[in-house]
Amino acid sequence: MTIVGLGPHGEPAAAPERVTLLPQDIAAARARHLRVAVVMHTVQSDWAKHLIQGIVAVLGDCGAIVMETVDCDFSPDLQIAALDRLRGERLDAIISLPVDNAVVAEAHKRVSAAGIKLVLVDNAPTGLLPGKDYVSLISADNFGLGKMAAELLARQLPENAKAGLIGFDADFFATNERELAFARWMEINRPDVGLTTTRFKAVASAGEATAHMLDANPDLAGMFVVWDTPCVEVLSTLTTRDMAIPVTTVDLGQEVSISLAAGGPVIGISAQQPLLQGQAVARTTITTLLGRGCPEWVALPGLAVTRETVAESYQTIWRTPAPREILRGLDLLT
């Protein structure tokens, strides 16, 4: 699967396989008794839980102790406080998913200035450079995810339809890329589709933002939501209004997967690979702590998921059997 996006500084993608650990690397890491902290935008989503699972598994294999996992609850202030506190701890590395590109930039710079290796997930704060302020950025191909979502939704849109884009009101590289790719693909491939955009400041307000969009655009024929957790709020709003507008989103969360299996409103999902991404994050962390160079941007491709492929894709992404609700929606249970 091809990576179509570029990194935050225009970097071409390196495949996660570029960063590998040989048995002697693992042995060398275990002898170091490394200490790592993980600072997350949230730990509540299916995606975040599996990313952490991938990180912790590989670090554990290498004898590196995860000293703390911080849930910043999408708050820049909480993240800044956490990073400043952790700078005073005896840590070899901090893995961070920045919650806002600009607001948290200086706090991340202070981590590197303190001599702690900084490995980034999904976002690179404004002004920070790889090799200087952080080791590497490991993310999905978010531009590719937005493109996939547009392609999936376009199949359901009649000619001259109007579609809604429900985005995140924050300076966030990952979601910015998805929105840009979705809008650009529609402009090039479906110029007949009119696109209207609204944004939510917090996940819990995504439903309210959707309600305002529907009030202003009662003729909407489809929607794209930038990831699955706010999409659940959007689906609740559609249910309340007894509307069956087709929806695409990013991440194969359980609730949107159940909607996809049952025949809507979710009609397609651009799935990330958080477990594999977490493993790549951990391998990058160990590699830099062993004194070796790492690619500036490591990217994992997405997976386009339809109703026909949701059960097998669920197993592929989450490494667990699909829930019975998904199988029931597919009429696979007697």
**The pLDDT value given to residue 101:** 86
Residue 260 in domain: yes
**Does 181 lie in the same domain as 89?**
no
Q: Mark the ranges of the chain whose per-residue pLDDT is less than 70.
A: 1, 334
Q: Is the dihedral of CA 243, 202, 199, 165 positive or negative?
A: negative
**Does 68 lie in the same domain as 55?**
yes
**Does 150 lie in the same domain as 118?**
no
**Does 311 lie in the same domain as 182?**
yes
Residue 202 belongs to what domain range?
A: 142-272+305-329
Distance, CA of 243 to CA of 219 (rounded, Å): 11
**Does 173 lie in the same domain as 243?**
yes
Q: Which residues contact 77 (CB under 8 A, 6 or more apart)?
A: none
Q: Which residues contact 37 (CB under 8 A, 6 or more apart)?
A: 66, 67, 68, 69, 70, 86, 89, 91, 93, 94, 95
Q: Are 178 and 142 in contact (CB under 8 A)?
A: yes
**The pLDDT value given to residue 334:** 60
Q: According to the 3-state scheme, what is the secondary structure of 27-72?
A: HHHHHHCCEEEEEECCCCCHHHHHHHHHHHHHHHHCCCEEEEEEEC
User: Where residue 268 sits, what CATH number does that domain have?
Assistant: 3.40.50.2300
**Does 202 lie in the same domain as 184?**
yes
Residue 79 in domain: yes
Distance, CA of 73 to CA of 41 (rounded, Å): 6
**Does 292 lie in the same domain as 150?**
no
Q: Is 209 left (phi over 0), alpha (psi -120 to 50) or beta?
A: alpha
Three-state DSSP class for residue 270 = strand
Q: Which two tokens stand for residue 280?
A: 């790549």
pTM of the predicted structure, to 2 decimals: 0.92
Distance, CA of 322 to CA of 308 (rounded, Å): 13
Instruction: Report the number of distinct structural domains present in the chain.
Output: 2
User: What's the distance, CA 45 to chain centroid?
Assistant: 10
Residue 281 in domain: yes
**Does 131 lie in the same domain as 156?**
no
Distance, CA of 38 to CA of 56 (rounded, Å): 9
**The pLDDT value given to residue 94:** 98
Q: What is the pLDDT of residues 13-40, one digit of tens each?
A: 999 999 999 999 999 999 999 999 999 9
Residue 212 in domain: yes
Give me the long-range contacts of 290-294 (CB less than 8 A, separation at least 24): 290/25, 290/28, 290/29, 294/19, 294/135, 294/136
**Does 102 lie in the same domain as 68?**
yes
- Eight-state DSSP code of residue 130: B
Nearest to 83 by CA among 57, 113, 63, 54: 113
Three-state DSSP class for residue 311 = helix
Q: What's the alpha-carbon Rg for the chain, to the nearest Å?
A: 20
Nearest to 106 by CA among 139, 77, 131, 68: 77
Residue 10 in domain: no
Beta strands in 261-325 (DSSP E): 266-271, 297-300, 303-305
Residue 85 φ then ψ, to 5°: -70, -45
User: What's the distance, CA 280 to chain centroid?
Assistant: 14
In order, the DSSP letters of 191-251 are TTSEEEEEEESSGGGHHHHHHHHHHH-TTEEEEEESSHHHHHHHHHHHHHTT----EEEES
Distance, CA of 267 to CA of 154 (rounded, Å): 11
**Does 278 lie in the same domain as 268?**
no
Q: What is the pLDDT of residues 231-256, one digit of tens each?
A: 999 999 999 999 989 999 999 999 99
Residue 93 in domain: yes
